[in-house]
A and B are shown apart, each in its own frame.
Chain A
Amino acid sequence: MDTHPIDMTRSATNASAAAAVSVRGVSKNYGQVEALRDLSLDFPRGQLTSLLGPSGCGKTTLLKIIAGLLQPTEGEVEVNGKPVTGPGPDRAFVFQDFALLPWATVLRNVAFGLELRGVRISEREAIAEQYIRNVGLAGFEKSYPHELSGGMRQRVGLARALAVDSEVLLMDEPFSAVDEQTRRKFQEDLLGLVAGENKTFLFVTHSIEEAVYVSDQIAILLPRPSRVSEVIRPSGLRTRNVSDIRRDPEYLDIVDRIWASLRSYVE
């Protein structure tokens, strides 16, 4: 184990010192169903943390508790040291099923978060136009969601969350609706985003490869009732060129290791 490329000691100290979000002893019951049990996890500021785990283990539940959309049965969540009591402007959510307004144009959809926060129309549309360009949808400002492909809609949802300029971005399987090529393109863009914007990203995914590719930290959740079974910090990958990551021995190693610990639950 000495030669193992994963730096576990650094993670523990670093993470708690600079945590943008910390989850402490959170449990969540839906009636008889125990979704989360005593889950604790820190999300370091300015980094991307993936939540990886089998379907139905409570990843969405955890993300919604952090967003303030659900109340935990027990435990608490802190964002920048302040306990979460409900949704707030410091967090923005990217929904698994996009949650776009079908009767509104791309421009209004992207500006909608700002609209709800009372930003003037000229101002919010200028901001929205910029983010529409950033996610590669320039020229589609006047289109309606039903005129876009699944991947394009997903980018509208992403642009809307980016436009409100929150410190913490909560992304629930944001790349689930796109084909493999687009998905890889998005993953590269996401790495650029993490490097460029000084934001904390919480990223839910089913894909081991995706998690290892984009993450500074990977939290592996066990099946219900869910706790964090392991936190993995790929230490060397972030300094690599994006196109070389998938060939890196560390990348392959971590993918194997995660698969080894998850496969017992799949079988």
Chain B
Amino acid sequence: MTAFGIRLPGMSSLILWGLFWEIIGRSGYTFFLPPLSEVIATFFSIVDTPAFQKALSETAQAFLAGVFSAVVIGIPTGILMGKNRLVDELLLPWVNIFLSAPLTALVPVLMVLFGFGMKSIIITTALFAVWIIILNARAGVMQINRSLTDMANSFGATPWAAFSKIYFWAALPEILGGVRIGVIRAVKGVIIGQLLISIVGFGALFELYSANFLMGHFWAVLIVLFALAFVLSEGLAALERRVSYYAAQR
């Protein structure tokens, strides 16, 4: 970004918006929005409290377990669908339905099936992430050059060798794209799970702060969450760029 001919460092626009927030906050226009400086001060005051630490670790556990399951189930399923017509015809309608379905509505059903604990939250998280991972892995495998498959066959590749040495790598750019979007959806899933299923983790903090009109605390936790999601997504995007050199010509 440049202003008045001067190159500004990246993210300068964030500083501008931060200033805007500060001014609105100080004007006392609404209790809903305390000044940014106050939010940041609150953040540093709560960050090493046991309550915050506990919320962070509970959320991280559910999130990581959910994402891990989604990846471990989603990538092989997607690759299988891309390679096998029968499996594809069986599963594709369901994947498409769940991809666009309002999954939040399913959460009560999950509670009935899996109880009110961590298990349901993890399943919710995985459920939010897994469909796009499947669909992208499938798309990645389906665009693989016919010649690469023929090449594997002509050298007598075993199905496992073809999967692990060719299909996985050839589909990797799409797979990573799917995982990145899946991770962003998983953030949604874990918070919705924590709000609806059992009030733990960041969900509990949101509940507590908003019920008590502790807006500084509320915004502090929200910013932490946004920042975490952003860092995760950027990290995966960086990983994607590392394989993009061959994405263009496969």
Which residues of A are in contact with B by a Cβ distance under 8 Å? Answer: 64, 67-69, 86-89, 91-93, 95-99, 101-103, 112-113, 115-117, 144-146, 164
Contact = CB atoms under 8 A, between A and B. Distances in A.
Q: Which 3 A-B pairs have the closest CB atoms?
A: A102-B246, A99-B147, A99-B151
Interface SS, A side: loop
Contacts of A64: 150
Interface of B: 145, 147-148, 150-157, 161, 165-166, 169, 172, 243, 245-246, 248-250
A77 to B, nearest CB: 14
Given A101-B169, A102-B250, A116 B245 contact: no
A60 to B, nearest CB: 10
Contacts of B147: 95-99
A91 B246 contact: no
Given A95-B150, A99-B148, A146 B246 contact: yes
Contacts of A116: 152, 155-157, 161, 165
Contacts of A93: 150-151, 154
Residue of B153, B154, B169 with most chain A CB atoms under a 10 A cut-off: B154
A144 B246 CA distance: 9
Contacts of A98: 147
Contacts of B243: 103
A113 B150 CA distance: 12
A88 B153 CA distance: 9
A146 B247 CA distance: 11
Contact of B145 (A68, A86, A97, A146): A97
A145 B155 CA distance: 20
A99 B156 contact: no
Nearest to B248: A146
A141 B246 CA distance: 18
Given A68-B153, A103-B172, A116-B155, 11 more contacts: A67-B154, A87-B153, A87-B155, A96-B147, A102-B246, A103-B246, A116-B152, A116-B157, A144-B246, A146-B245, A146-B248
Contacts of A97: 145, 147
B163 to A, nearest CB: 12
B155 A69 contact: no
A88 B156 CA distance: 7
A159 to B, nearest CB: 14
Contacts of B246: 102-103, 144-146
A91 B166 contact: no
A124 to B, nearest CB: 12
B245 A92 contact: no
Nearest to B161: A116
A92 B154 contact: yes
6 contacts: A68-B154, A102-B249, A103-B172, A103-B243, A144-B246, A146-B249
A69 B150 contact: yes
Nearest to A89: B156
B155 A103 contact: no
B154 to A, nearest CB: 4
A229 to B, nearest CB: 28
A108 B249 CA distance: 18
A89 B154 CA distance: 8
B156 A117 contact: yes
A238 to B, nearest CB: 29
B154 A69 contact: yes
Nearest to A91: B154
B141 to A, nearest CB: 15
A184 to B, nearest CB: 26
B145 A99 contact: yes
Contacts of A117: 155-156
Contacts of A115: 165
A113 B169 CA distance: 17
A155 to B, nearest CB: 16
A164 B155 contact: yes
B17 to A, nearest CB: 40
Contacts of B151: 93, 95, 99
A87 B156 contact: yes
A113 B245 contact: no
Residue of B155, B165, B172 with most chain A CB atoms under a 10 A cut-off: B155
Given A116-B165, A146-B246, A99 B150 contact: yes
B140 to A, nearest CB: 13
Nearest to A88: B156
B74 to A, nearest CB: 21
Nearest to A153: B249
Contacts of A102: 245-246, 249-250
B47 to A, nearest CB: 41
B221 to A, nearest CB: 41
B249 to A, nearest CB: 6
B172 to A, nearest CB: 8
